[in-house]
């Protein structure tokens, strides 16, 4: 393992102490677990990627009716 130093706010340190005590592990273990969650989490696509994917999907699915033009009418029908 690599030894490192970090600085926490008083609030963060106190909450970590409580979590560690409740789980019966060290604060360092809680921090390692938190780091693993950040490392393993899939990265979010950029806003540009999301927009591009949404635009490329627009109009590709046919619902048999024009949902966009009669949006309120369709919602009204569904919630009656």
CATH 3.20.20 fits 1-41, yes or no: no
Whether residue 32 has pLDDT greater than 70: yes
Residues 6+ apart with CB under 8 A from 77: none
Residues 47 and 8: their CA atoms lie apart, in Å, by 31
User: What integer pLDDT is reported at residue 63 of this predicted model?
Assistant: 64
Give residues with Cβ within 8 angstroms of 17, minimum separation 6. Answer: 27
In the predicted model, what is the mean pLDDT of residues 12-33? Answer: 97
Residue 73's pLDDT is what?
78
pTM exceeds cut of 0.95: no
- The reported pLDDT for the residue numbered 65 is 64
> Is residue 67 pLDDT above 90, yes or no?
no
Name the more confident of 46 and 26. Answer: 26
């Amino acid at each position: 393992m690599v030894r490192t130093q970090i600085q926490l706010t008083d609030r963060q340190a106190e909450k970590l102490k409580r979590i560690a005590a409740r789980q019966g592990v060290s604060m360092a273990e809680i921090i390692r677990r938190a780091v693993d969650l950040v490392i393993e989490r899939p990265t979010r696509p950029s806003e540009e990627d999301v927009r591009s994917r949404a635009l490329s999907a627009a109009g590709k699915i046919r619902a048999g009716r024009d949902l966009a033009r009669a949006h309120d009418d369709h919602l009204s029908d569904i919630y009656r």
